[in-house]
Amino acid sequence: MRIPTEQPKATEHIDLMIEMISELIKKGFAYENNKHVYFEVKKFDEYGQLSNKKLEELIAGSRIEISDNKKSSEDFVLWKPSSENEPSWESPWGKGRPGWHLECSAMSKKFLGNEFDIHGGGIDLIFPHHENEIAQSRCANDTKVFANYWLHNAFITMSNEKMAKSQGNILKIKDFRDKVSGQVLRLALISAHYKQPLDWNDKLLDDCQNTIDKWYNVYLPSSKALDDEIIQPLYDDINTPGYIANLHKLYDKANNGNDEDKKIFNTACNFIGLLQETKEEWLNFKKGKVDISETEIENKIDLRNKARADKNYKEADNIRDYLLDKGVLIEDKDGKTIWKFK
Ligand SMILES: [Zn+2]
């Protein structure tokens, strides 16, 4: 598993956000009123470019807000007082907290610079979140560009319902990691184009698992130059399904062909983060997944305890190893044996 180089926390960068707000006020893009600070949208000519919205439409379409702190309804908050049960920080505008768009502008500046290449996010964040990030960053940093490319992904659905915290159907990668191989997850996630919704279900994971399993038949780790023709779909707005289609063709060739074909296939898989485990690691992972019912596990543990009571330690160890082989870890604790999948 590869960990991100940086995993910054917003609460550790409040000082940078305050700095950015001060800069925006100094440059005339933001104003303070009654302990609130707002970004004055009409001061930034290019506001709305990312989401293709016109300022007049935003003003006309915005709900009338019960706030006489703002000059205009489309202005968005950079700093506001916290209510009693909310966290707060000291600032030149009183105790409070930053507006939620600001953390991205402040932390991207620190870790990536005033301009950077790729900004990702879900399609629901284009407006207002990303639009506001651009406004804050470009005005504070005096740049023509914030991010060079925006990659907005469609949602993952479960049984065709949007995955959302409020729906209670959130899947977390960490819940999968013990059960599903990382490369199966990867293949499943890239099986749809990032702009297309992806429906997540057991069949998808089974299919991907079977595909990877089949591909390991021609496993031959290598590093070859790949023809442009193979990579072409990725140049086309990261068309991952197109690339996977090429992998299937290369597999067929490798399966009927020579080592050279296998090497090309393996390199092409590695290129997109697949087949990076050795065949042995893959087989071990699969072995760990061999179905064993909880009843069988409990029965084996009973047999092991009986063997231990009879001082037949060899038999007890054999049972422990058998379970370990099935991916089950057992632990003796307070006179009881507990188990878990490793
Ligand atoms: Zn953001």
CATH code of the domain covering residue 117: 3.40.50.620
pLDDT at position 150: 96
* Domain end call among 111, 129, 153: 153
* Sole residue written with tokens 């207002």: 128
Looking at the chain, the number of H-run helices and the number of E-run strands are: 13, 11
Say what the pLDDT of residue 68 is: 72
For the segment 41-83, what is each residue's pLDDT rounded down to a tens digit? Answer: 999 999 999 999 988 777 765 555 556 789 988 999 999 999 8
Question: 80 near 97, Cβ under 8 Å?
Answer: yes
Summarize the confidence of residues 159-175 as an average pLDDT: 72
Q: Distances from the Cα of 331 to the Cαs of 44, 59, 197, 284, in angstroms?
A: 63, 64, 43, 21
Higher pLDDT, 164 or 250: 250
Q: Which two tokens stand for residue 300?
A: 């084996």
Number of residues written out for the chain: 342
* pLDDT at 335 (0 to 100): 81
Are 133 and 187 part of one and the same domain?
no
Torsion of CA 258, 263, 266, 271, to 10 degrees: -140
The alpha carbon of 184 and the centre of ligand 1 are apart by a number of angstroms equal to 28
Assess whether 176 and 271 both reside in one domain. Answer: yes
Do both 20 and 145 map to the same domain?
yes
Whether 16 and 139 share a structural domain: yes
Domain extent at residue 322 = 294-341
Q: In angstroms, what is the span from residue 101 Cα to ligand 1's centroid?
A: 6
Q: What pLDDT does 3 receive?
A: 87
- Domain count for the chain: 3
- Ligand 1 center–CA 150 separation, angstroms: 12
Q: Which residues surround ligand 1, an ion (CB under 5 A)?
A: 104
Q: Are residues 140 and 25 in the same domain?
A: yes
**Cα separation, 189 vs 192, whole angstroms:** 7
Indicate whether 59 and 192 sit together in one domain.
Answer: no
Last residue of a domain, one of 117, 137, 153: 153
Quote the ligand 1 centre to 335 CA distance (angstroms): 51
Residue 3 lies in a domain: no
Instruction: Output 266 or 329, whichever has higher pLDDT.
Output: 266
What is the separation of C-alpha 258 from the centre of its chain, rounded to a whole number of angstroms?
38
* Judgement on whether residues 192 and 274 belong to the same structural domain of the protein: yes
Q: Do 17 and 149 share a domain, yes or no?
A: yes
Q: What is the pLDDT of residues 264-320, one digit of tens each?
A: 999 999 999 999 999 988 887 776 665 677 788 889 999 999 999 999 999 999 999
Report the relative pairing of strands 156-158 and 198-200 from DSSP bridges.
parallel
For residue 128, is the peptide bond before it cis, meaning its omega torsion is within 30 degrees of 0? yes
Cα(289) to ligand 1 centroid in Å equals 38
Pair (239, 107) in one structural domain = no
**Cα 58 to the center of its chain, rounded Å:** 31
Say yes or no: 90 and 44 in one domain: yes
- What band does 340 get if pLDDT is binned at 50, 70 and 90? confident
pLDDT given for residue 69 in this prediction: 87
In angstroms, what is the span from residue 239 Cα to ligand 1's centroid?
Answer: 24
Q: Sorting pLDDT into bands at 50, 70 and 90, what band is 342? A: low
